[in-house]
Structure 1
Amino acid sequence: MSETVERVTDVDDELCTWLLSCWVAVTNAGGAVGFVPPVGPGDVRPTLEAHLAEVSAGAAYVGLLSIDGDRAGFGFVVRSASPLFHHWATVLRLQVHPRFRGRGAGRALLDGLAEHARADGLAFLHLTYREGLGLGRFYESCGFAEVGRIPGAIRVAPGDDRDSVHMQRKL
C-alpha cells in the first residue's frame, strides 16, 4: 500500500467537490468532524468554504491523503497569525473516508502532516477531539499527548455534553 500526504494550497472545483463528499460521508458514518449525522452537502458546505478561505489567504493548507493513487482523507493545518505562536499549528477536521478506515490511513495522514510540519520548522502540532468515541487512544498511539480538556464544551444533543480534549504532538 502506497500512502502520500500532499500539501494543497490551491483547491480547484473538483477537489472541493471531493472534500465535501468525503466530509459528508465521514459525518454520516459517525465521524466527529464538526457535525452530528445525518448531514447533507448543504449542511457542511459553509464550514468547508470558511476553511478554504483560510487556505486561499495562506493561513492554512489541506493535507490530502492518497492511498494507491485514490484520495482517502484530509485535514486542515492552520497556522496562527501571531508571531508568538509561529512555532506550532493546529490540525482541524482530520478525517479518513469510511472506505479506507481500519487500514492505517488515519495514522498515515497524521504522520504525513507531522512530516510537513517538521519541514516547516514547527515544534509541535495541536488538535482537539470530541470525548466519547475512543479517539484518545488512537491519537496517543500516533504520538499525541493530552494537554487539557474543557468539560462539557461540546453539545452533541440536549443532555449530551462532551469534553473537548486538547492534544499535542511534539515534533
Structure 2
Amino acid sequence: MSTVRRADAPALTALLHDLAGLLTDTVDSGASVGFLASFDHAEATAWWRERVAAVAAGRLFVWVAEEDGRVTGTVSIALPDKPNSRHRAELVKLMVSPTVRGKGVGRVLLTTAERAAAGLGITLLHLDTETDSPAERLYRGAGWTPAGVIPDFAENPAGVLRPATVYFKRLGAVPAGG
C-alpha cells in the first residue's frame, strides 16, 4: 500500500521528475486533469515547477503517495486569496498512477486532503471533475455532493469538449451566515 506524505517546497522540487511522470501517465491514460494528449514530460515538469512557489507561500498544499520509492499519486488543496473565502478551498489535481488504480490510493489521498483541510480550519471544499468519469464515482462514494453540471466545460486529453460536475463537501462547523 502507498504511504502518503505532505510535500513542502524542497520535497516538491526533489520529486519534480517523478511527479511529471505521474502527470503525463495520467493524461496518457485519458484522465481529464487539464492537459491535452500532446502534453510531454518537459511541459509536465515545468507545470509542477510552477507549483513550488505556491507551496512555499502556503497557498497550495500537496500530498504525494509513494510505494516502493515510486510516486503513485498526488492531490492538492488550493487556498483562495480573498478575505471572504478563507473558510473554503479547492481540491485540485487528484491523480493516481494507472498502475495502481482501483487499489484505494485515490481514497487515501482524498481522505488525507479532507482531514488536512479541516485541520487548517477549512469548512468547505469544492472541485470540478469530468462528468461520468471514474473520479466522479470516487467523489460520490466519499460523500461529496454534486452542485451541478456545466456543459462543454473543458476538453478531455483527446480534445473533445466534455461536461464537468461541480462538487462540494462540508468538513466541519458551518461559518456564521452559511
- SS across alignment from 2:65: strand
Q: Show the 5 A alignment for 1:142-153.
A: 142-153=142-153
3-state SS of 2:103 partner = coil
Counterpart of 2:6? 7
Structure-1 residue corresponding to 2:170: 170
- Provide the secondary structure at the position in 2 that maps to 1:54: helix
Contact 2:76-2:113 at 8 Å conserved across structures? no
How is 1:1-171 mapped onto 2 (pairs within 5 angstroms)?
1=1, 3-12=2-11, 13-67=13-67, 70-156=70-156, 160-171=160-171
Question: In 1, Cα distance between the equivalents of 2:91 and 2:24?
Answer: 19
Q: Structure 2 vs 1, CA of residues 69 and 40 (structure 1 numbering), >3 Å: closer, same or farther? A: closer
1:33 shift after superposition: 1.4
**Comparing 66-75 and 24-33, the one that deviates more:** 66-75
Instruction: Give per-residue Cα distances to partners, 1:75-131, cap 9 Å, x unaligned.
Output: 221101112111111111110111211101111110011111111121121111122
Report SS of the residue matched to 1:99.
coil
Show CA shifts across 1:123-155 (max 9, x none). Answer: 121111122424322210011111123211213
Give the direction of change, closer, same or farther, for the CA distance of 1:41–1:68 in structure 2 (3 Å limit). Answer: closer
CA distance in 2, matches of 1:126, 1:167: 6
Cα distance change of structure 1 residues 21 and 92 upon mapping to structure 2, 3 Å threshold: same
Whole-angstrom distance in 2 between the partners of 1:80 and 1:170? 16
Q: Which runs of 5+ in 2 are unaligned?
A: 172-178
Q: Is the 8 A contact 2:4 2:66 kept in 1?
A: yes
Residues 70 and 53 (structure 1), Cα distance of their counterparts in 2 relative to 1, 3 Å cut: same
Residues 68 and 116 (structure 1), Cα distance of their counterparts in 2 relative to 1, 3 Å cut: farther
The normalised TM-score by structure 2 is 0.83
Over 3 Å counting, the alpha-carbon distance change for 1:38 and 1:151 in structure 2 is: same
Distance 1:4 1:116, change over 3 A: farther
CA distance in 2, matches of 1:11, 1:93: 19
| More RCO (CA 8 Å, sep 6+) | 2
Q: Kindly tell me the number of residue pairs found equivalent between the two proteins.
A: 169
Greater shift, 109-118 or 60-69, is seen at 60-69
Q: Under a length normalisation based on structure 1, what TM-score does the superposition of the two structures give?
A: 0.86
Q: CA deviation at 1:67?
A: 4.4
- 1: CA distance, partners of 2:136 / 2:23: 21
Match of residue 174 from structure 2: none
Q: Which structure shows the bigger proportion of residues in strand conformation?
A: 1
